[in-house]
Amino acid sequence: MVSPLVLILCLITLPLFIFVFQKQTTLKNKAFPPGPKGLPIIGNLHQLDNSSLYLQLFELSKKYGPIFSLQLGLRKAIVISSPELAKETLKNHDREFAGRPNLIGQQKLTYNGLEMIFSPYNEFRREIRKICVTHVLSSRRVSSFSSIRKFEVKQWIKKISSHASSKKVTNLNEMIISLSSTIICRIAFGKRYDDEGVEKSRFHDLLNECQAMMASFFVSDYIPFLGWIDRLNGMHARLERIFKELDKFYQEVIDEHMNPNRDISKGEDIIDVLLQLKNHRSLSFDLTIDHIKALFVDTLVAATDTTAATIVWAMTALIKNPRVMKKVQDEVRNFGGQKDFLEEEDIQKCSYFKAVMKETLRLHLPTPLLVPKETNKTCIINGYEIPSKTIVYVNAWAIHRDPEAWKDPYEFYPERFLGSDIDFLGQHFELIPFGAGRRICPGIHMALASLDLILANLLYSFDWELPQGIKKEDIDTQVLPGLTQHKKNPLYLIAKNNKDL
Ligand code: HEM
């Protein structure tokens, strides 16, 4: 047993030793980017607020420039805030910047990174991404789910239409989260929960807990020798509990899919596809049940919230900009003619609508710092030496407002995209809501298929008004903390039927 005296000595000397070590490496590493001064051991951790990190980092970039550094406990971090440096990191040094930091919550809930989003950059990740892009997220697969999207959006429009008939105020946040989770549950595991049912609320609670834990701060991630704090404050126990509940839920879903009597007449879902891949054993590694569970987490986490948040932000921007609202409604209604519902193909012809979607993802991208990355090896960026294992934040929120790249960057002005070839597929570094390079979002086509169909039909079927006594200036753009930026205060609107549904 270690004597208490030795333990006390260690507790006193270890932080001192680390402080001296931090100082020494900073002195040795003269070419590291500048940044705000921090405290010994914790660095800048006490100065950062998780709920609006992208805003704080934007303010700091005004002082320290488009590349600056932070000390997060014992970990070094850099922040990139210009299109030029985004290109430098996500294209020219793409390979070196393709890692992900190993964070406790994310690792635990993804079975130690047996998936795509949070896995480190290695052979396994390349292989699993290839499999998913080919078999799960391909255009063919996305099209095969179109009847699900159409059915669910139609049902949902009918529900809003009944609100409209009874002049009921619609809570768009609630409605859209419910729709996007219904679509993703059907696509991912073929389930359709009753709106008010216990099962749906169990699923939502689990998903919310999972996302909260993935975005939570664990001391161990930044100051490992103080990791005991996570045990003391109950974070570890909470993580374990949530992991067990989620694992039970995934296992139930997989067991249902493995039942030989299962009815597959309604088509394959993502779990079916993954189980087939597992059974065929045609891959370069054994796809296990844990891989399937981890990829299941990816789909739920990546797809549900991002889609819902984007639609809410689009409607928020449009209700605050009646000119744009009218123009885009005229366009979709013109293309829709006498139809009662706009199909996915109809929407592809609506160029102003497409510009509205781009402008929404420019000003209100749901993941403003993308997904944080980590360098795999030392490299030189803008004359600075960035060591291996540095955490990298690409502040896309700031990049999307760069006055060098955008005229009137704060204005919601979709016309800027008409006649312009700028898109968000990872080639134009001033617009990167889906990231760029090796880790670019592989779900772009899946995302756009839902986003287009939902927003276009909301605009096609209804005129939108603010509840009595509310002015457009009253609608705020505050956000909730989390991996995805949701509008904090729900968007309440009154729908008026434009069509007989
Ligand atoms: C509005 C919708 C969406 C937005 C804005 C979005 C955005 C992003 C961003 C910014 C990243 C990180 C890119 C980077 O690190 O540079 C990402 C990664 C990812 N997204 Fe999406 N996403 C959306 C929808 C989806 C959907 C629908 C799916 C799948 C069904 C999906 C699956 C993924 C996966 C698997 C990754 C990890 C890729 C990797 O690390 O290799 N996303 N997404």
Dump pLDDT digits (tens) for 205-249.
898 899 989 999 999 999 999 999 999 999 999 999 999 999 999
Please indicate, yes or no, if residue 424 is contained in any of the structural domains. Answer: yes
Q: Give the residue, out of 434, 445, 452, with the most ligand 1 atoms within 8 A of its beta carbon, to mutate for a pocket test.
A: 434
Choice between 7 and 383, residue whose per-residue pLDDT is larger:
383
Residue whose C-alpha is closest to residue 438's, from 393, 373, 382, 384: 373
Please indicate, yes or no, if residue 299 is contained in any of the structural domains. Answer: yes
Dihedral sign, Cα of residue 46, residue 47, residue 49, residue 50 = negative
CATH number for position 339: 1.10.630.10
In the structure, what pLDDT confidence band is assigned to residue 12 with cuts at 50, 70 and 90? low
Structure tokens at 131: 């499999």
Residue whose C-alpha is closest to residue 41's, from 84, 3, 12: 12
Cα-to-centroid distance, 485 and ligand 1 (Å): 14
The answer on pLDDT for 1 being more than 50 is no
Structure tokens at 389: 């294992």
The answer on pLDDT for 499 being more than 80 is no
Distance CA(498)–CA(400), nearest Å, equals 34
Q: Which segments of 137-234 does DSSP mark as H helices, in order? A: 139-144, 146-165, 172-189, 198-215, 219-222, 228-232
Tell how far CA 238 is from the center of its chain: 23
Residue whose C-alpha is closest to residue 126's, from 104, 91, 98: 98
The answer on pLDDT for 370 being more than 90 is yes
The answer on pLDDT for 2 being more than 80 is no
Q: Is the Cβ atom of 366 under 6 angstroms away from ligand 1? A: yes
In the structure, what pLDDT confidence band is assigned to residue 194 with cuts at 50, 70 and 90? confident
Please indicate, yes or no, if residue 309 is contained in any of the structural domains. Answer: yes
Please indicate, yes or no, if residue 25 is contained in any of the structural domains. Answer: no
Distance CA(200)–CA(208), nearest Å, equals 12
Please indicate, yes or no, if residue 89 is contained in any of the structural domains. Answer: yes
Question: Mean pLDDT in the chain?
Answer: 91
Number of domains the chain is built from: 1
In the structure, what pLDDT confidence band is assigned to residue 72 with cuts at 50, 70 and 90? very high
Residue range of the domain that includes 430: 31-497
Strand, helix or coil for residue 497? strand
The answer on pLDDT for 51 being more than 50 is yes
Please indicate, yes or no, if residue 307 is contained in any of the structural domains. Answer: yes
Strand-pair category, 391-394 with 67-72:
unpaired
Give the lowest-confidence range in 62-66, 124-128, 220-224.
Answer: 124-128
Please indicate, yes or no, if residue 4 is contained in any of the structural domains. Answer: no
Give the lowest-confidence range in 51-65, 263-277, 353-367, 485-499.
Answer: 263-277
Q: Does the annotation place 441 within a ligand binding site?
A: yes
The answer on pLDDT for 49 being more than 60 is yes
Q: Which segments of 349-443 does DSSP mark as H helices, in order? A: 351-363, 396-399
Cα-to-centroid distance, 22 and ligand 1 (Å): 35
Cα-to-centroid distance, 443 and ligand 1 (Å): 6
N-to-C CA span, the chain: 76
Q: Indicate the DSSP class of residue 88.
A: I
Q: Is the Cβ atom of 117 under 6 angstroms away from ligand 1? A: yes
Structure tokens at 414: 């979709």
Please indicate, yes or no, if residue 20 is contained in any of the structural domains. Answer: no
pTM, full prediction: 0.92
